[in-house]
Structure 1
Amino acid sequence: MSSAAALDFWRRRGGRVTYGRHEETSCFPVLDLGPGRRPQLLWPVGIYPVSGTVEVVFQYLKTRSPFDDTEQRRELLNRLNKIDGIDLPEAKLELRPSFPIRVFAEHGGEICEVLDWFAGVAATDLARRD
Structure 2
Amino acid sequence: MTFKAQWYRDKFVKKRGKGFCGYPVATVAFYGPDDSRATKVSVGIVAHEGADADPVERWFCQSTDARTDPEVTEAIIRFIDHHGAKSVAAVDRNIGCPHEEGIDYPDGEKCTQCSFWADRDRWSGEIMQ
Flag whether TM exceeds 0.5 (same fold): no
TM range (shorter): under 0.3
Higher helix fraction: Structure 1 or Structure 2?
1
> TM-score normalised to the size of structure 2?
0.28
- TM normalised by structure 1 equals 0.28
